[in-house]
A and B are shown apart, each in its own frame.
Chain A
Amino acid sequence: MSAALRSEWLKVRTVRTFFWFWVGSAGLILIAAISVVASNGQIESAADDRSVARIAAIALVFGLIAGIVVMAGEITHGTVTQTLLVTPVRERVLLAKVITAALISLFVAVSAELLVLAITVPGASLDVHNSRPVLLGILLAAPLAGALGVGFGAVVRSQGSGIGISLVWLLIGENIVTVMSQSAAKYTPGRAFAALASGEGGHHDLLSMGPGGLVAAVWTAAFVAAGLLVFLGRDV
Chain B
Amino acid sequence: MIEVVDLRKRYRRTAAVDGLTFTVRNGSITGFLGPNGAGKTTTLRILLGLVHPTSGKATIDGRRYRHLDRPVARVGAVLEASNYHPKRSGRNHLRMLAAAAGIPNTRVDELTELVGLGNAAGRAVGGYSLGMCQRLGVAGALLGDPKLLVLDEPANGLDPEGIRWLRDFLRTFAGDGKTVFISSHVLGEMQQLVDEVVIIHHGKLIAQGPVSELTARVAGSTRVRTPQATALRESLVQAGFEGTLDGDQLITPAPAERVGELAAAKGIVLHELVADATSLEEAFLELTGGDEIR
Of the residues B51, B87, B89, B101, contact of A235 by C-beta under 8 Å: B51
Contact call A84/B49, Cβ cutoff below 8 A: yes
- Is A233 among interface residues, defined by CB-CB distance under 8 A? yes
| Residue numbers in A under 8 Å from B87 (CB-CB) | 15-17
A89 to B101, CA, bound (A): 13
**A219 to B86 Cα, complex, angstroms:** 33
Query: Which of A3, A14, A236 has the most chain B CB within a 10 Å cutoff?
Result: A14
Q: Mark A82-103, 1 if CB is under 8 A from B, else 0.
A: 1111111100000000000000
From residue 187 to 236 of chain A, which have CB atoms closer than 8 A to chain B? Answer: 233, 235-236
A132 within 8 A of B: no
Chain B 28-85 residues near chain A, CB threshold 8 A: 45, 48-52, 65-66, 68, 71-72, 77, 79, 82-85
B165 to chain A, nearest CB (A): 22
CB contacts (< 8 Å) of B52 on chain A: these are 233, 235
Q: Is B239 an interface residue (CB 8 A)?
A: no
Q: State in angstroms the CA–CA spacing of A1 and B200 once bound together.
A: 39
Is A86 in contact with B84, judged by CB distance below 8 angstroms?
A: no
List B residues 78-106 near A (Cβ within 8 Å): 79, 82-89, 92-93, 95-97, 99-102
> Chain A, 1-40, contact with B by CB distance < 8 Å: what is the 0/1 string?
0011011001100111100000000000000000000000
Contact B97 A86 (CB under 8 A): yes
Q: Is the CB of A87 within 8 A of B50?
A: no
B229 to chain A, nearest CB (A): 59
Query: How many angstroms between the C-alpha atoms of A182 and B101 in the bound complex?
Result: 50
Q: Which chain B residues numbered 150 to 200 have a C-beta less than 8 Å away from chain A? A: none
With both chains docked as a complex, state the minimum distance between the C-beta of A17 and any C-beta of chain B, in angstroms. 8
Does A160 reach chain B (CB closer than 8 Å)?
Answer: no
From B50, B68, B84, B85, A84 is in contact (CB under 8 Å) with: B50
C-alpha spacing A235/B45, complex, angstroms: 9
Q: Which of B66, B96, B102 contacts A11 (CB 8 A)?
A: B96
- CB <8 Å contact, A85 and B102: no
Q: Determine if B50 and A3 form an interchain contact, defined as CB atoms under 8 angstroms apart.
A: no
Is residue B203 within 8 Å, beta carbon to beta carbon, of the partner chain?
no
Quick one: which of A15, A85, A89, A233 contacts B85, CB cutoff 8 A?
Answer: A15
The tally of residues in B whose CB lies under 8 Å from a CB in A reads 31
Q: Does A81 contact B (CB under 8 A)?
A: yes
Given contacts A14-B88, A88-B71, contact A81 B100 (CB under 8 A): no
CB–CB B100/A83 < 8 A: yes
Residues of A within 8 A of B49 (CB): 84, 88
What are the residues of chain B within 8 A of A87 when measuring CB–CB? 100
Chain B residue nearest to A16 (CB atoms) is B87
B243 at the interface (CB under 8 A from A): no
List A contacts of B77 (CB < 8 A): 85
B187 to chain A, nearest CB (A): 27
**In the assembled complex, which residues on chain A have CB atoms less than 8 Å from the CB atom of B82?**
78
Residue from A3, A73, A85, A89 having most chain B Cβ neighbours under 10 A: A85
Q: Is A79 an interface residue (CB 8 A)?
A: yes
Chain A neighbourhood of B50, CB < 8 A: 81, 84-85, 235-236
Bound together, the chains give a CA A11 to CA B92 distance in angstroms of: 8
Q: How far is the CB of B181 from chain A (nearest CB, A)?
A: 15
Contact A15 B71 (CB under 8 A): no
A10 touches B101 (CB 8 A): no
Contact B79 A86 (CB under 8 A): no
- Knowing A89-B66, A235-B52, say if A7 contacts B84 (CB, 8 Å): no
Determine if A4 and B100 form an interchain contact, defined as CB atoms under 8 angstroms apart: yes
Q: Are A77 and B65 in contact (CB under 8 A)?
A: no
A131 to chain B, nearest CB (A): 38
> Which of B92, B99, B140 counts the most chain A CB atoms within 10 A?
B99
Picked from B51, B86, B99, B140, the residue with its CB within 8 Å of the CB of A82 is: B140
Docked complex Cα distance between A6 and B101 (Å) = 10
Question: A4 to B46, alpha carbons, bound, how many Å?
Answer: 23
Interface-centre pick from B51, B86, B97 (highest chain A CB count, 10 A): B97
A-B pairs with beta carbons under 8 Å apart, 25 shown: A3-B102, A7-B96, A7-B97, A7-B100, A10-B95, A10-B96, A11-B96, A14-B89, A79-B85, A79-B93, A81-B79, A81-B83, A84-B49, A85-B50, A85-B71, A85-B77, A86-B71, A86-B72, A86-B97, A88-B49, A88-B65, A88-B68, A89-B66, A235-B45, A235-B52
B residues lining the A interface (CB < 8 Å): 45, 48-52, 65-66, 68, 71-72, 77, 79, 82-89, 92-93, 95-97, 99-102, 140
Besides A77-B84, A79-B85, A81-B79, 10 other A-B contacts (C-beta < 8 A): A3-B99, A7-B96, A10-B92, A11-B88, A78-B82, A79-B84, A79-B93, A86-B101, A88-B66, A88-B68
The 4 closest A-B pairs by CB, nearest first: A7-B100, A78-B83, A14-B92, A235-B51
